[in-house]
């Protein structure tokens, strides 16, 4: 049967073997509708993109679900999800812009928002994590994308693979087997890969025999052996075979099992305890399984355990992990919906139990990852993709409390059908991805998450929870009245539980009648925190004064005694007497105590603090650093107020951190800046070198290498940003070139670079052929990669060397001359490249705004003269002038489209 998938859940049958079931007219009708919908969709997307540009708010935004946050799910049949992908999508707009010139401080269009991922490749210190916590932000754990060397990273672009930890030599590695995806045409795979998560080295295990290609199988470690069970080799090939890899011998061998054999299945879950592999659930040809099959790896025998009333329901795409003699199971899909039940299987009693836990249980999901790290069980990712995809749900197995650690950068990775492996303190996530009809297939890069702070985070979260419970029970009032010589207890009620108040900003709450008096005293002694506002409480009875920590410390000092017989205090309570009166600090404190004050956390300030901008976070962190190092706070004026992102590198403008004093703290500084901006890698822009190769002088501040992939206008540009420039200011011009219709044209780009215009000509304008001239070896390396990555290499001829020597002659319909400040050196070459009948030249140049007419006249005249000297009788006209961007004060980057026609 051939059908047209015309929307997510609707299919239109078109034909079956040797027979059309609809008329050709009907097919034409469908194609017409489909095309007009695609057109309408494109217009909407273009409009959306333009709006984002106009608002200057284009930020990196990866990993999306549908509008209602439901996953886009492919259903093969009514009641099963046995599709090859859990379908969700990437919106393809993972881009932002980088400005390479003077414009970085001038053009508001380029003032794109900051990147809001909070991933951080650096291992946080405990101190940093704690300060982050007390700052009330919840981004505690650092994530880092693994930089893969050895085998191409595409080999790891798989989902439905399975992985485990394996010791090779003395080092732990990750072994991953099978899965769907891989380099070239995606397919089910059967290669075994070894990944060193520290060095990023990826190698393929050379094995003589191997299980057949598959996905949705399991990989389970038993001692030194690794067992692969079942999986799906194809729509009609559901498997139940068992293979073992003897890690010491690099040999896979098929296990000849006996006993109550496993029904063929995929998307089951497996875990091992005491040399037995336990398999639960999965999808079989007969439906979803609910049995527990146990394979004893010593007797090589399968057993099935029958269900009882506590038996969990049938499911697939769930997860199972061993912990002592127990197996914990979470989530999965029962054919109707995603689940979030959490139960355990006791491998000694062979019984299932529903687990009782405290705190909010993780949201329902399937195809997620689950792991055990020390006494924590963690869950992350899975379908449906929603906000919770940016956090790890953690269960403290001792206290049985769920808590959550938010890692916003996780949203960049599709942790769907991925594998998670714990090695030491690292959680490594390999594989995973999804496909959706609208945006195609996307695979996740391998990442690692440093878990070493988990214990501290739990303790803090736990204490905070306790503290909130204490607050809820209003037990914070500490009575001071028991002390000798103190004012009687009914006179003084101050909330003084310092530990409970922690480091939060405080307010002193007083009845309104004491407001004026208290304010005067607080002001007089500098205890009022002037950065926050005093306000009336919600009950309208009290006034809340923001107070400094010093004041809180003074008033909670044990030695503070209020002299009840000191009549002067009561006299001073009269406002008129206080004004101008000279009172001691001791007396001032005593008066305030008499006002029945209580200390509360300043919830308003806390909530403001929680939503701090990256600028504010940066200022706070750097200010503390300057303080620690004894550097002047005036340096704060050199903090950047804006930045750009290029691929995953956050690029600061070249104007920031200029003072040489910053050099002395650079080791501490750059990681802090990266942290405040949520950047994986950080760089500072340099001037584009005014040399023939227009070299980048971008300085990498955090990160090891400058290679990145930047997406713009639906094209992916890879480059080493420390070697080659990338001007986002030219974006509109790239768009304009991409909008041309070049399908019958031969184009020559005389200054191809990494493919700035070559790619729009090929990918968007569908040029028949593009000759790309370039002489910079770094740009050439990127260009070669980019034409491959954008699948246009077959229509691009790369000519290495000086275009004046290499450019073809008499064949071009269009020539692009994208060199600044001037491309005049190759105008002659451009004219000679055009066909004898003429064509179009796109001439770039930097032009003083008062000289524009002069420049245009000069261009037309020069091209006419050059044509004449080559015996070409052309009529030369200016078709269009594009003002691309301001390059410097009064200097514009212009492009003139010069049309050359045979007269």
Ligand X SMILES: C[S@@+](CC[C@H](N)C(=O)[O-])C[C@H]1O[C@@H](n2cnc3c(N)ncnc32)[C@H](O)[C@@H]1O
With a CB cutoff of 8 Å and minimum separation 6, the contacts of 485 are 561, 562, 563, 564
The region of 294-302, 553-561, 632-640, 818-826 touching ligand X under the rule CB under 6 A is 818-826
Nearest to 801 by CA among 743, 752, 860, 853: 752
Give the x/- contact pattern for ligand X in 460-499, rule: CB under 6 A. Answer: ----------------------------------------
Distance CA 601, CA 504 (A): 6
Distance CA 375, CA 367 (A): 23
Question: How many other C-beta atoms are found inside a 10 Å radius of the C-beta of residue 896?
Answer: 22
Give the x/- contact pattern for ligand X in 778-817, rule: CB under 6 A. Answer: -x----------------------xxx-------------
β partners of residue 748: 771, 815
> Among residues 194 and 819, whose Cβ is nearest to ligand X?
819
> Among residues 784 and 844, whose Cβ is nearest to ligand X?
844
> Among residues 748 and 819, whose Cβ is nearest to ligand X?
819
819 lies in the site for ligand X, by CB under 6 A: yes
> Among residues 518 and 820, whose Cβ is nearest to ligand X?
820
Distance CA 392, CA 330 (A): 14
CB of 60 to ligand X, least distance (A): 23
Pairing mode, strands 276-280 and 269-273: antiparallel
> Among residues 65 and 799, whose Cβ is nearest to ligand X?
799
CB of 103 to ligand X, least distance (A): 11
Find the binding residues for ligand X in span 836-855 (CB under 6 A).
Answer: 844
CB of 102 to ligand X, least distance (A): 12
Distance CA 545, CA 698 (A): 49
CB of 854 to ligand X, least distance (A): 21
Find the binding residues for ligand X in span 71-130 (CB under 6 A).
Answer: none
Q: Is 31 left (phi over 0), alpha (psi -120 to 50) or beta?
A: alpha
CB of 889 to ligand X, least distance (A): 17
CB of 795 to ligand X, least distance (A): 20
822 burial level (CB within 10 Å; 0-12, 13-18, 19+)? middle
The region of 551-559, 643-651, 722-730, 853-861 touching ligand X under the rule CB under 6 A is 722-730
> Among residues 102 and 404, whose Cβ is nearest to ligand X?
102
> Among residues 511 and 828, whose Cβ is nearest to ligand X?
828
Supply 281's token pair. 């659930």
CB of 895 to ligand X, least distance (A): 9
Distance CA 46, CA 24 (A): 33
Q: 646 with 726: CB under 8 angstroms?
A: yes
> Among residues 578 and 754, whose Cβ is nearest to ligand X?
754
Instruction: Give CA separation, 676 vs 233, 415, 607, 721, in Å.
Output: 46, 25, 18, 22
Instruction: Give CA separation, 137 vs 420, 447, 650, 721, in Å.
Output: 26, 22, 21, 32
362 lies in the site for ligand X, by CB under 6 A: no
Supply 205's token pair. 């295990």
Q: Is the dihedral of CA 385, 390, 396, 402 positive or negative?
A: negative
Pairing mode, strands 649-652 and 681-684: parallel
Distance of CA 128 to the CA centre of its chain: 21
Distance of CA 554 to the CA centre of its chain: 45
Read off the DSSP letter of residue 614: H
> Among residues 303 and 693, whose Cβ is nearest to ligand X?
693
> Among residues 545 and 775, whose Cβ is nearest to ligand X?
775
> Among residues 324 and 692, whose Cβ is nearest to ligand X?
692
> Among residues 507 and 724, whose Cβ is nearest to ligand X?
724
Distance of CA 526 to the CA centre of its chain: 44
Q: 96 with 644: CB under 8 angstroms?
A: yes
> Among residues 510 and 715, whose Cβ is nearest to ligand X?
715
Residue of closest CB approach to ligand X: 751
> Among residues 331 and 845, whose Cβ is nearest to ligand X?
845
Q: Is 660 left (phi over 0), alpha (psi -120 to 50) or beta?
A: alpha
CB of 369 to ligand X, least distance (A): 42
3-class secondary structure for 17-74? CCEECCCHHHHHHHHHHHHHHHHHHHHHHHHHHHHHHHHCCCCCCCCECCCCCCCCCC
Q: Is 755 left (phi over 0), alpha (psi -120 to 50) or beta?
A: left
CB of 799 to ligand X, least distance (A): 8
Pick from 776, 796, 814, 898 the residue near ligand X by CB under 6 A.
Answer: 776
CB of 822 to ligand X, least distance (A): 10
CB of 843 to ligand X, least distance (A): 11
CB of 769 to ligand X, least distance (A): 18
> Among residues 245 and 807, whose Cβ is nearest to ligand X?
807
CB of 36 to ligand X, least distance (A): 37
Supply 683's token pair. 């760089």
Give the x/- contact pattern for ligand X in 723-742, rule: CB under 6 A. Answer: --x-x--x------------
818 lies in the site for ligand X, by CB under 6 A: yes
Give the x/- contact pattern for ligand X in 680-709, rule: CB under 6 A. Answer: ------------xxx---------------
Pick from 327, 820, 834, 867 the residue near ligand X by CB under 6 A.
Answer: 820
> Among residues 680 and 826, whose Cβ is nearest to ligand X?
826
Pick from 717, 751, 761, 771 the residue near ligand X by CB under 6 A.
Answer: 751
Distance CA 799, CA 801 (A): 6
CB of 685 to ligand X, least distance (A): 13
CB of 823 to ligand X, least distance (A): 8
CB of 723 to ligand X, least distance (A): 10
Pairing mode, strands 891-902 and 874-888: antiparallel
Pick from 160, 753, 755, 839 the residue near ligand X by CB under 6 A.
Answer: 753
Size of the site for ligand X (CB under 6 A): 21
Angle among Cα 321, 322, 328 to the nearest 5 degrees reads 55
Per CB under 6 A, residues contacting ligand X are 692-694, 725, 727, 730, 751, 753, 756, 773-776, 779, 802-804, 818-820, 844
């Amino acid at each position: 049967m051939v059908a047209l998938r015309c929307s997510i859940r609707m299919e239109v049958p078109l034909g079956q073997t040797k027979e059309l079931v609809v008329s050709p007219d009907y097919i034409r009708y469908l194609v017409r509708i489909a095309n007009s919908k695609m057109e309408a969709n494109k217009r909407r997307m273009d409009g959306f993109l333009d709006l984002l540009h106009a608002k200057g708010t284009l930020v990196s935004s990866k990993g999306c679900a549908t509008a209602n946050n439901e996953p886009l799910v492919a259903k093969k049949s009514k009641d099963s999800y046995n599709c090859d992908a859990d379908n969700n999508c990437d919106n393809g707009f993972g881009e932002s812009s980088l400005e390479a010139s003077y414009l970085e401080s001038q053009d508001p269009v380029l003032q794109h928002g900051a990147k809001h991922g909070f991933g951080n490749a650096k291992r946080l210190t405990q101190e940093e994590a704690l300060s982050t916590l007390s700052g009330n932000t919840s981004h505690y754990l650092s994530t880092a994308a693994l930089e893969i060397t050895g085998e191409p990273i595409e080999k790891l672009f798989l989902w439905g693979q399975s992985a485990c930890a394996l010791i090779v030599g003395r080092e732990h590695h990750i072994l991953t087997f099978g899965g769907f995806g891989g380099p070239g045409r995606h397919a089910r795979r059967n290669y075994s890969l070894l990944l060193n998560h520290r060095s990023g080295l990826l190698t393929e295990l050379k094995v003589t025999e191997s299980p057949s290609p598959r996905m949705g199988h399991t990989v389970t470690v038993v001692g030194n052996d690794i067992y692969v069970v079942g999986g799906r080799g194809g729509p009609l090939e559901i498997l139940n075979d068992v293979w073992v890899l003897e890690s010491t011998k690099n040999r896979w061998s098929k296990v000849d099992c006996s006993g109550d054999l496993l029904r063929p299945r995929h998307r089951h879950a497996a875990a091992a305890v005491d040399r037995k592999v336990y398999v639960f659930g999965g999808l079989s040809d007969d439906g979803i399984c609910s049995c527990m099959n146990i394979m004893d790896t010593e007797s090589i025998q399968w057993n099935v355990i029958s269900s009882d009333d506590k038996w969990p329901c049938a499911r697939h795409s769930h997860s199972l992990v061993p912990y002592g003699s127990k197996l914990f199971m979470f989530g999965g899909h029962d054919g109707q919906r995603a689940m979030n039940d959490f139960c355990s299987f006791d491998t000694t009693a062979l019984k299932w139990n529903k687990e009782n836990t405290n705190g909010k249980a993780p949201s329902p999901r399937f195809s997620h990852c689950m792991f055990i790290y020390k006494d924590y069980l963690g869950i992350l990712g899975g379908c449906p993709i929603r906000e919770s995809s940016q956090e790890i749900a953690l269960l403290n197995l001792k206290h049985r409390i769920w808590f959550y650690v938010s890692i916003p950068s996780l949203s960049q990775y599709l942790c769907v059908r991925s594998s998670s492996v714990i090695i030491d303190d690292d959680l490594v996530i390999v594989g995973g991805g999804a496909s959706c009809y609208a945006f195609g297939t996307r695979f996740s890069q391998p990442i690692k998450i440093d878990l070493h702070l988990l214990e501290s985070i739990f303790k803090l979260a736990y204490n905070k929870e306790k503290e909130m419970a204490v607050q809820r029970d209003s037990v914070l009032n500490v009575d001071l009245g028991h002390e000798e010589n103190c004012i009687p207890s009914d006179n003084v009620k101050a909330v003084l539980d310092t530990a409970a108040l922690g480091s939060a900003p405080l307010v002193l709450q007083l009845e309104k009648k004491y407001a004026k008096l208290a304010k005067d005293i607080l002001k007089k002694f500098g205890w009022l925190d002037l950065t926050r506002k005093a306000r009336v409480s919600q009950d309208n009875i009290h006034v809340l004064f923001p107070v400094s920590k010093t004041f809180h410390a003074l008033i909670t000092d044990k030695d503070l005694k209020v002299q009840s017989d000191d009549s002067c205090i009561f006299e001073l309570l009269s406002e008129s007497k206080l004004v101008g009166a000279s009172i001691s600090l001791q007396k001032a404190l005593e008066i305030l105590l008499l006002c029945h004050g209580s200390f509360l956390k300043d919830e308003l300030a806390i909530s403001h603090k929680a939503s701090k901008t990256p600028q504010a976070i940066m200022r706070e962190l750097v200010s503390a650093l300057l303080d620690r190092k004894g550097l002047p706070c005036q340096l704060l004026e050199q903090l950047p107020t804006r930045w750009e992102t290029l691929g995953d590198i956050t690029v600061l403008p070249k104007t920031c951190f200029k003072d040489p004093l910053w050099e002395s703290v650079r080791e501490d500084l750059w990681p802090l800046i990266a942290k405040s901006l949520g950047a994986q890698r950080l760089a500072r822009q340099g001037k584009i070198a005014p040399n023939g190769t227009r070299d980048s002088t971008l300085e990498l501040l955090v990160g090891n290498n400058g290679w990145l992939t930047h997406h713009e206008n639906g094209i992916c540009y890879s480059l080493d940003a420390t070697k080659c420039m990338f001007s986002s200011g030219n974006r509109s011009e790239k768009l304009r070139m991409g909008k041309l219709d070049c399908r019958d044209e031969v184009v020559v780009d005389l200054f191809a670079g990494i493919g700035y215009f070559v790619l729009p000509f090929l990918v968007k304008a569908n040029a028949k052929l593009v000759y790309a001239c370039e002489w910079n070896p770094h740009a050439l390396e990127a260009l070669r990669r980019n034409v491959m990555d954008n699948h246009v290499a077959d229509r691009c001829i790369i000519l290495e060397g000086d275009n004046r020597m290499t450019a073809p002659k008499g064949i071009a319909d269009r020539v692009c001359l994208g060199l600044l400040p001037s491309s005049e050196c190759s105008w002659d070459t451009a004219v000679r490249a055009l066909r004898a009948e003429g064509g179009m030249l796109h001439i770039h140049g930097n032009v003083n705004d008062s000289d524009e007419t002069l420049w245009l006249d000069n261009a037309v005249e020069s091209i006419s003269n050059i044509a004449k000297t080559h015996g070409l009788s052309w009529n030369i006209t200016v078709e269009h002038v594009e003002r691309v961007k301001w390059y410097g004060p009064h200097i514009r980057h212009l492009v003139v489209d010069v049309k050359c026609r045979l007269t």
